[in-house]
Amino acid sequence: MVYSLATVVDLVNTGAGERDGLAEVADLAEFVGRREVSGVRTLTRRDLAEVRALREAFHAVFTAPDQTTAVRVLNTLLGRTRITPSLTEHDGHPLHVHYFAPDASVAEHLAADCGVALAHVLVENERERLRTCAAPDCSHVFVDESRNRSRVYCDSRTCGNRMHVAAYRARARRRDAS
Ligand SMILES: [Zn+2]
Ligand SMILES: [Zn+2]
């Protein structure tokens, strides 16, 4: 796994759709494949329950009302996770750092690597980049990587466009009415 922040976003957003994206062990297997989570053994219902609990904790970091709360949630998570950094190259990815222990469960793997990625965001005082979509019927989270930190929708091609169209129609209606 290389890009851990994208994995956190993907994980949290499995809980934001119409259907729970982690309802079954098969969903977890699909997620693990999609995110290229390496070194995963046969997945069980226990793994599913642990990853679902982890999803809640990560969501709480995104929606924390302030830095102190975000730090507390993340520290609780990291405090019960074994972390052993090692440099690695695998599956065609360039050299990167793994943080999970060699025999980690999938939940512990995600807690270590995604937890460290989120920790760096907080340390760099960039918590405001951890956002929830501004569209009223959408609760997806995202990391705002725009230079001026102006992004408000989870995905400019869907929610962003949808909201622009809605605003345009509202303006058009006001024009027609006047
Ligand atoms: Zn990796
Ligand atoms: Zn959205």
Tens of pLDDT, residues 74-103: 999 999 999 999 999 988 889 999 999 999
* d(CA 154, ligand 2 centre) in Å: 4
pLDDT in tens, 120-177: 999 999 999 999 999 988 999 999 988 888 999 998 667 877 777 777 777 777 776 6
Neighbours of ion ligand 1 (CB under 5 A): 1
3-state DSSP of the chain: CCCHHHHHHHHHHCCCCCCCCCCCHHHHHHHHHHCCCCCCCCCCHHHHHHHHHHHHHHHHHHCCCCHHHHHHHHHHHHHCCCEEEEEECCCCCCCEEEEECCCCCHHHHHHHHHHHHHHHHHHCCCHHHEEECCCCCCCCEEECCCCCCCCCCCCHHHHHHHHHHHHHHHHHHHHHHC
Check pLDDT > 60 for residue 1: no
Number of domains making up the chain: 1
Ligand whose nearest atom lies closest to the CA of 137: 2
* Interval 52-79 mean pLDDT: 97
CA distance 62 to 97: 23
In terms of C-beta density within 10 A (0-12 exposed, 13-18 middle, 19 or more buried), how is residue 72 classed? middle
**Domain extent for 120:** 1-177
* d(CA 82, ligand 1 centre) in Å: 17
* d(CA 24, ligand 1 centre) in Å: 25
CA distance 54 to 93: 26
CATH at residue 71: 1.10.3300.10
Judge whether 16 and 141 are in contact, CB under 8 Å: yes
CA distance 77 to 130: 18
CA distance 18 to 20: 7
Confidence of residue 2 (pLDDT cuts 50, 70, 90): very low
Question: What pLDDT does 156 receive?
Answer: 61
* Interval 29-39 mean pLDDT: 92
Return the sign of the alpha-carbon dihedral for residues 114, 119, 121, 122.
positive
* d(CA 163, ligand 2 centre) in Å: 9
